[in-house]
Every structure is written in structure tokens, then in C-alpha cells.
A and B are shown apart, each in its own frame.
Chain A
Amino acid sequence: MTITRSSHIRSHVVLALFVMAAPLWGCASHESVSQAEPPKSFPRDQIAKGQELAYIGNCMGCHTAEGGKPYAGGTPLKTPFGTIHGTNITPDPQTGIGRWPLEAFTRAMREGVDRGGRNLFPAFPYDHFTKATDEDIAALYAFVMTREPVNRKNLGNSVPLPRASVSLWKSRYLERGVYKPDPAKSPEWNRGAYLVEGLGHCGACHTPRNKLGAEKKDEAFAGGEVEGWHAPALDSTSPSPVPWTVEAMQTYLKHGVADLHAQSAGPMAEVVHDLSHVSDADVRAIATYVVSLDTRNADQRKRAADAALARARAALAQKGNAVYDGACADCHNLGRAQEGGALELPLGTALTIPTPRNLAYIVRDGILPREGERGGWMPAFAGALTDEQLTDLLIYLRALSGQPAWADVAGDVRKTSKGKR
């Protein structure tokens, strides 16, 4: 029996500039680009390169609706400012981007402007894509322009703001310019930085946003929010009990599971699905850069890891409560080395982050691989546990992490109930 249960990455972004926008709309227009016909074919290696970049950018997350044709759009992106639908980026001339020359595509990626000169909402993360090179944007273009054209009209948006107001957002938050390598760092680190800060747009979820929906530059990678999930901090405030190594991060990004760390779930499971198609070299570069964001030194990392592992052993040695023993222990007390064994829970990231929501989703809905694909598995406990029992379990699990108790677990469990995300 099969079914795809696919949650999408909805980079929740956007603007909100009612107040300041009005007097300045006049300066918000853009010219149309050339009406040149796009090329009919592209070199095969350029298309292949574009495909890998599309996986790194998780383009499908927004541009492919659940059960829909690839890149034909329609995914609802719920932002604090309203719902925006991912657009059709197949080469269909009427409803897609079939009549967009490379020049228009490049401008959309770098400036957030469509072919006709209209502002795009920054739910489309051009604040990151602006860092991509001409060569990579051209490769992405070659890839999308060689997809199956799909005639599917774009759905409307419910953001109650004029598109002209986006110009103000850009003037404040869009830092144009291709990524500049840091000569003091290795080529691998620079490759990773280029991908993470640019097409990968990791900060779209992992960096907190301000009231206008822009990433807080001074809190880069300090942990953010996406689709009701918390995207954990990747900087030195990383909540991971055992600090990440490049090897562990590379394995996690490629396979979704790493010893001593969480198994990917929710929006990150989609990212891992895409990264599984990316070359080892690029995934390793991404891992190299991401791990470097945590600037604790080797000594501090080792101390943190030793303390976490000792806490895990101690917690598992004592008898837990009945729910843990009956529902969790069979797998989670085995350790990953055993057949069917799962992460020792005191090491779980979801126990350590500032909110119990991720853990509530995971316990309630489980973690299922995509239809017909291999992947980590955890059974869903929806139905088995009432909200009160789930609350008790989360409180118990939090204690295993050695972190101070969460403030309002019952409230968060209510909020994560089906249909309330």
C-alpha cells in the first residue's frame, strides 16, 4: 500500500510595508526585458549541472504541488503575510516561463522581478539567489527550460500588499552581488559557503526573521521557523547535544540519519531527499561550511559531546516512565548499531530546541519515507496517545535532554494538532 506524504518546504518570508510604501510606489517600476525567443536546446552537461543546482535549491519544494507535475507550481506557501502559491516554471509559453529569455530569468533570480517587470514577493528567496554566478543561473535556466512544459495557470496570492511595496523591502534587505570567496578559507569551504548562502538558501529557514519577514543578518543561522517547525540553530548556539562534525553532517544531509544526531523530519526531510541526488563533493562542501558556523573550538566541542554521552547513558540506565518504556524504549534503548535500533533519545536534537513542536509532530505523525523509497522510519503515535499523554511524554523526554523544562507543552501540543499548523 502506498501513498506519497510529502510536505513541502515553504520558505516563509515576505514583506509588510504598508506604512512606508505609499509615497514611494512611483519608483517601483521596472522595464520589460528583451522579447527575444529563448533557445530551443541546451548542451547536455549544462542541463545536468542545472539539475544538480535545482536539487541544491530545493526548487521543487515550492514549484511542485503535492501530486502535481514537476515544476508546474501550485504549492501554497503560508507566510505570516498571507498565502503565496509557487509558480509554474515549466517552459509552457502561456502559463510557464517558456517565453522568458535567459536575461529575464537571471533578473528574476537576482532582482526579484518577473519578465514583465513586476516585483516578485521575497517568498521567492532572491535575497539568496542573487549570490549565484552567471554560469550557474544559466545552467539552472537550461535545466528548467528543458522540463516537460505543463499548461497550468498560476494560482493567486492572498497577500494584501501591493507588489510595488516590495521595492522598499528590496532597498532595505536585498544585498545584490555574486558571492565573493574568502581567500583565507579553503576552496571546499568557499564552495560550501557559496551554495549555502546562495542557491541552497539554508538561512531562509535556519535564520530568524524580523517583522518585515527579512532574515536578521546579525543572527544568521541562529534558528528559525518554517511551516510550524523550528529549524534548529546551526551557529555556536546549536542545540545539538553532541556538536556536529563534518562527517556526521555530510551523512545527515545525504541520508537523513547520522549516528548521535537526529533523523531528518518535516521540511528538512524534503531537503535531504533533494540532497541525496547531489554529488558527494558538493554535499561535503555544504557540510564543511555549515559545521564551521559553530565556532566553538575542538576542546569545547569534545567537552560538550562527552557530557551529552554521559547524560544519555545515565538517563537510559534509570527506569523511565511507563509510556517511554512501552512505546519508545524497544527501539530507542537499542542504539543505532542494532537492527531496528534508533537514536538514544537524550541525544535527540528535537528534545533540546526551544519548542516541543518538532517532537510533537514526530511522535504524532511518525517519520515515513516517500512512497517506494528507502528512508528512516518511525511509527506514528497519533491515536495511541491522547493530547494529555503526549504532553506527559514530551515533558518526560525533555527532562532526558538535561535542558530546562519547556514553558507550555500542553499549549504547544494543542497548536500542533491536525489542521492547526
Chain B
Amino acid sequence: MKLDVNGSVHDVDADPATPLLYVLRDNLSLNGARFGCGLGQCGACVVMADGEAIYSCTTPIAVLEKRKIKTLEGLGTAEKPGPMQRAFIEAQAAQCGYCIPGMMMRAQALLEKNPSASDAEARAALQPHLCRCGTHTRILHAVARAGELMKGKS
């Protein structure tokens, strides 16, 4: 079946019940999304589908045909980081970094809808994400900063 990931259409040979996470990592070599719990409980695997944050570990590719998937790799590159990535680098929001890709994608979905989202809205949106290092405050700073960058402030 065909999957539209970060604007490129890929022909994927996999069982339709396969969770998106495995297809991203194993078939498409897009390793941004992480495997954490495999049960939709930790948020490390979050990517976007049609602008909404989804758990890629519990979303079978069967429901994603003809929908626009965006992963961490779709936010920018190491050479040319996008606003969300720049903000996380500026705020030095990662410690071990394992949860960060999912957090960034959740925040991206929030800010694409409303770049002026409040701190409370950011907290609410990120509520299902677990981080055991404790960089929560920096993560929130990064999300606020990303909102500014997305609105064109430098």
C-alpha cells in the first residue's frame, strides 16, 4: 500500500495491521519516532497524521492510506532545523532525549493549529507524554519559543 510520509509517497509492502512505527523504522529507515512502551502509554512514538498527533505504535497502516503523515524528519534537518527543532536546541530541552521526538511532534500539532497556545494548553497537550529525566520546564520553554519562531519572531 502507499503511504504519504513527509510529502513523499512510499510503496510499502507490509501487513495492513502493522503499526506505523514499525513501518517507519524498519521499512522507511525513519528513526525519529521511538519505541517506548508499544501500548500508547508513553508518547515516545508520536507522529502526525493530517495535522493531528497520533501514537504510531498503536495505529495500523491500514487506516493511514491517503493521509498525510509527518514525522520528526519532516520538521527539518540537522543543517536546516525547523522552528520546533531550533527551539528545542536553544532551550537545551533534551537530557537523554528519548521522549523528545514524540513531545516535539505533539507540540508541532498543537502549534500548527495555534502558534499562540498558552502554557496551560501546552501542558494539557503534552500530558500523555512521559519523561523520566525531568526536563519538563525546559520542554515547556522550548514549546513557547517554537510558537514565537513559527509566528516569525527571531
B interface bracket (residues with beta carbon within 8 Å of A):
20 to 34
A322 lies within 8 A of B60 (CB): yes
Given contacts A340-B39, A379-B58, contact A384 B123 (CB under 8 A): no
Distance between Cα atoms of A3 and B62 in the complex (Å): 32
Question: Is there a chain A Cβ closer than 8 Å to B40's Cβ?
Answer: yes
Residues of chain A with a CB closer than 8 A to B73's CB: none
B63 lies within 8 A of A389 (CB): yes
B54 lies within 8 A of A383 (CB): yes
Question: Is there a chain A Cβ closer than 8 Å to B27's Cβ?
Answer: no
Question: Is there a chain B Cβ closer than 8 Å to A281's Cβ?
Answer: no
Residues of chain B with a CB closer than 8 A to A384's CB: 49, 52, 54-55, 58-59, 63
A323 lies within 8 A of B41 (CB): no
A325 lies within 8 A of B123 (CB): no
* Whole-angstrom distance between the Cβ of B25 and the nearest chain A Cβ: 15
Distance between Cα atoms of A323 and B16 in the complex (Å): 8
Question: Is there a chain A Cβ closer than 8 Å to B127's Cβ?
Answer: yes
Residues of chain A with a CB closer than 8 A to B39's CB: 330-331, 340, 379
A interface bracket (residues with beta carbon within 8 Å of B):
20 to 34
* Whole-angstrom distance between the Cβ of A74 and the nearest chain B Cβ: 18
* Whole-angstrom distance between the Cβ of A334 and the nearest chain B Cβ: 10
Question: Is there a chain A Cβ closer than 8 Å to B82's Cβ?
Answer: no
* Whole-angstrom distance between the Cβ of B83 and the nearest chain A Cβ: 20
A340 closest partner in B (C-beta): B39
Residues of chain B with a CB closer than 8 A to A379's CB: 39-41, 55, 58, 128
A3 lies within 8 A of B127 (CB): yes
- Of the candidates B40, B41, B63, B127, which one forms a contact with A386 in the assembled complex, judged by CB atoms under 8 Å apart? B63
Distance between Cα atoms of A207 and B21 in the complex (Å): 45
Q: Is the interface of A mostly helix, strand, loop or mixed?
A: loop
A368 lies within 8 A of B128 (CB): yes
Residues of chain A with a CB closer than 8 A to B59's CB: 326-327, 381, 384
Question: Is there a chain B Cβ closer than 8 Å to A362's Cβ?
Answer: no
B37 closest partner in A (C-beta): A340
B103 closest partner in A (C-beta): A1
Question: Is there a chain B Cβ closer than 8 Å to A382's Cβ?
Answer: yes
Residues of chain A with a CB closer than 8 A to B92's CB: none
Distance between Cα atoms of A331 and B40 in the complex (Å): 10
A326 lies within 8 A of B17 (CB): yes
* Whole-angstrom distance between the Cβ of B134 and the nearest chain A Cβ: 11
A325 lies within 8 A of B128 (CB): no
Question: Is there a chain B Cβ closer than 8 Å to A380's Cβ?
Answer: yes
Residues of chain B with a CB closer than 8 A to A331's CB: 39
Residues of chain B with a CB closer than 8 A to A18's CB: none
Question: Is there a chain B Cβ closer than 8 Å to A2's Cβ?
Answer: yes
A1 lies within 8 A of B127 (CB): yes
- Of the candidates A1, A330, A340, A366, which one forms a contact with B129 in the assembled complex, judged by CB atoms under 8 Å apart? A1
Residues of chain A with a CB closer than 8 A to B124's CB: 3, 5
- Of the candidates A329, A340, A368, which one forms a contact with B127 in the assembled complex, judged by CB atoms under 8 Å apart? A368
Instruction: Kindly supply a per-residue 1/0 record for chain B positions 42-84, scoring 1 wherever the CB is within 8 Å of any chain A CB and 0 otherwise.
Output: 0000000110111100111111000100000000000000000
- Of the candidates A1, A366, A368, which one forms a contact with B136 in the assembled complex, judged by CB atoms under 8 Å apart? A1
A327 closest partner in B (C-beta): B58
Residues of chain A with a CB closer than 8 A to B19's CB: 326
Question: Is there a chain A Cβ closer than 8 Å to B95's Cβ?
Answer: no
Those of A283-332 within 8 Å (CB) of chain B: 322-323, 325-327, 329-331
A1 lies within 8 A of B126 (CB): yes
Residues of chain A with a CB closer than 8 A to B6's CB: none
Distance between Cα atoms of A379 and B57 in the complex (Å): 11
Distance between Cα atoms of A5 and B60 in the complex (Å): 27
Residues of chain A with a CB closer than 8 A to B49's CB: 383-384
Given contacts A327-B60, A382-B52, A384-B63, contact A322 B16 (CB under 8 A): yes
Question: Is there a chain A Cβ closer than 8 Å to B114's Cβ?
Answer: no
B contact residues vs A (CB 8 Å cutoff): 15-19, 37-41, 49-50, 52-55, 58-63, 67, 109, 120, 123-124, 126-129, 131, 136, 139
**Which 8 A-B residue pairings sit nearest by Cβ, starting from the closest?**
A326-B60, A379-B40, A383-B52, A325-B17, A1-B126, A322-B62, A3-B124, A384-B54
26 residue pairs of the A-B complex, CB under 8 angstroms, read A1-B123, A1-B129, A2-B123, A3-B127, A5-B124, A322-B60, A323-B63, A325-B17, A326-B58, A327-B63, A330-B58, A340-B39, A366-B128, A371-B127, A377-B41, A379-B39, A379-B58, A379-B128, A383-B49, A383-B52, A384-B55, A384-B58, A384-B59, A384-B63, A385-B63, A386-B67
